[in-house]
A and B are shown apart, each in its own frame.
Chain A
């Protein structure tokens, strides 16, 4: 039975998702069921099994490997999942969303993400990608009576289906070249012919790069991001901007730094341009946004650029920086979207920058939390974002990507402008018509406070988590 060990965490989450579906099916009309806590139980099971697997690791069927790298990402996903479950509850009540299906899809998406982070076979990575994408497409458009939600979800779905085709085509070419979809075999076969890469190899790498770039919303494949992030309920936006990114980057790192490492001279210049464009476009376009959700969508694109920079640097510091950055970004961004989600009202979204005017005087706690998250996204010490960015840039400089590091620092400085704009709005302006904010539910408030504490913990005492990240990355390379 030992061969099943590696898939226990995602099986727990899948079981919780199926339980949520069954609970919804047998629910009497009007009866309230604690379906959210059901999901939390599944995630707790996943957390416990991951802790038990941490020391020795495991491998199932030769295609799923629970090494420290995969488990680290699994932990990030569990944190994302628990915080999202807590933040979602008020949204579901307010928007009258189908509770069972909402949680079931969220848990299925999490299971897909965990599988994607631990899979070592292109076929399984693709299937996991589809599981999480399909669930997230539906969650994006789950507010069916909003025209904007349907538009965003449809755009996301059509472009996502297109990018999946690219990804699949890349897998087909890789299989045609190497006769295998296992990453280790692809890696050794690629290494054997790496001296003179054939056009077919470059085509395969290019197509896979397009597929991944879409999922991590790198420029020029970022067009869907602002629309989808604006269309989805803010709790879902927080979930997908962090969870999908973590899972996609985990697979990206595995495929490109393990299987296609021998072809690095071919793909690193392309990734250089993509990373630079992603940082610049995400920041520059973000400055001109008047909707906080769209602004955070562009900020999330820019953060994808910093992660690409860390992936490109790919020395010991850089690889650990990817994982640490994913963790801090997940905690911070979920917190920021959690605040937006709590501020949202039934009849007004309250997501314009001007809706934040005078928030400090009406809701000091929310304003303070939002400040913490925004400063962390901007990279201010002593928040987590500072340490994460510092590691990324120092890794890039060490590897010789000084130009990219300079672009990264400059875009960070520019991005501080739009984070500070909201903070100025909250503290230094008053308004005659303050935004009407619904009462803050206890669970969501607690989740926000936990995220804020994590932001400070990772910012002030990062050593232990960084050590874990470094240990994780050592297992696959």
Chain B
């Protein structure tokens, strides 16, 4: 039952992500989709992956996305009226040589991302078919115990304790470096 709830949320949210004109709504819906996916991971007895999904994707990466969207100040996407295209056409009308505007301002400018998206969708579809037909054969999937938070935590503080400490130094260096480069002179 829980599977269907999460699955429906994930699919509907994902569809809505690409149906939005406003990129900020898209980003927020993507967070909902990631949340539902992480619920699915819990159902698959992979709680560590679920938590990482929330922390890394829904947390860190989405903040970056939101930051970029707001930084670029792109409130909504214009598909049917693009002032850049029209500016070029106005320029062309004003007697600018056609070579300068060819390619850049032609109406087919949106075809490249469309083709790329189509290619990506086809690749995902092939992958899905492959997983559904062949995926069940590989029986060597690790059991739930390996991916449990407890095991990973124990490994982190025993075998990998030193690597963990070195990582803390690494983060400290990154922090000092960021402050040095970004600080305003007082």
A residues whose Cβ falls under 8 Å from a Cβ of B: 7, 14, 21, 60-61, 63-64, 98, 101, 104-105, 108, 111-112, 115, 121, 123-124, 127-128, 130-131, 134-135, 137-138, 141-142, 144
Tell me how many residue pairs across A and B have CB atoms closer than 8 Å: 58
The answer to whether B166 and A131 touch across the interface, beta carbons within 8 angstroms, is yes
The answer to whether B166 and A128 touch across the interface, beta carbons within 8 angstroms, is yes
In the assembly, what is the distance between CA of A98 and CA of B179, in Å? Answer: 11
User: What is the interface size of chain B, counting residues whose CB is below 8 A from a CB of the partner?
Assistant: 17
The answer to whether the Cβ of B181 comes within 8 Å of any Cβ in the partner chain is yes
Indicate which residue in B160, B161, B177, B183 contacts A135 across the interface (CB closer than 8 Å).
B177
The answer to whether B162 and A63 touch across the interface, beta carbons within 8 angstroms, is yes
With A64-B162, A124-B163, A127-B163 as contacts: A14 and B169 at CB distance below 8 Å: yes
19 A-B residue pairs with CB within 8 Å: A14-B169, A63-B163, A64-B162, A98-B180, A101-B179, A101-B180, A105-B177, A108-B169, A108-B176, A112-B173, A124-B162, A127-B163, A127-B166, A127-B167, A128-B166, A130-B170, A131-B170, A141-B181, A144-B181
Indicate which residue in B170, B172, B174 contacts A127 across the interface (CB closer than 8 Å).
B170
Residue of A with least CB distance to B186: A29
B160 to chain A: which residues have CB within 8 Å?
123
B181 to chain A: which residues have CB within 8 Å?
138, 141-142, 144
The answer to whether B176 and A115 touch across the interface, beta carbons within 8 angstroms, is no
A127 to chain B: which residues have CB within 8 Å?
163, 166-167, 170
Residue of A with least CB distance to B182: A144
Interface residue SS majority, chain A: helix
In the assembly, what is the distance between CA of A130 and CA of B163, in Å? Answer: 12
The answer to whether A134 and B173 touch across the interface, beta carbons within 8 angstroms, is yes
Q: Across chains A and B, which 9 residue pairs bring their CB atoms closest together, nearest first? A: A138-B177, A127-B166, A61-B162, A101-B180, A108-B173, A131-B170, A134-B173, A135-B173, A134-B174
In the assembly, what is the distance between CA of A141 and CA of B180, in Å? Answer: 10
A142 to chain B: which residues have CB within 8 Å?
180-181
Q: What's the least CB distance linking B177 to chain A, in Å?
A: 4
Q: What's the least CB distance linking B172 to chain A, in Å?
A: 8
A101 to chain B: which residues have CB within 8 Å?
176, 179-180
Apart from A64-B162, A131-B166, A135-B177, list 19 A-B contacts with CB within 8 A: A21-B176, A61-B161, A63-B162, A63-B163, A101-B179, A105-B173, A108-B172, A108-B173, A123-B160, A124-B162, A127-B170, A131-B169, A131-B173, A137-B177, A138-B177, A138-B180, A138-B181, A141-B181, A144-B181
Would you give the 0/1 interface string for B4-41, flagging 1 where the beta carbon is closer than 8 Å to chain A? 00000000000000000000000000000000000000
Q: What's the least CB distance linking A441 to chain B, in Å?
A: 23
Q: What's the least CB distance linking B168 to chain A, in Å?
A: 10
Residue of A with least CB distance to B161: A61
B176 to chain A: which residues have CB within 8 Å?
21, 101, 104-105, 108, 138
B174 to chain A: which residues have CB within 8 Å?
134
The answer to whether B162 and A134 touch across the interface, beta carbons within 8 angstroms, is no
In the assembly, what is the distance between CA of A94 and CA of B169, in Å? Answer: 30
In the assembly, what is the distance between CA of A124 and CA of B173, in Å? Answer: 16
In the assembly, what is the distance between CA of A111 and CA of B169, in Å? Answer: 10
In the assembly, what is the distance between CA of A104 and CA of B181, in Å? Answer: 14
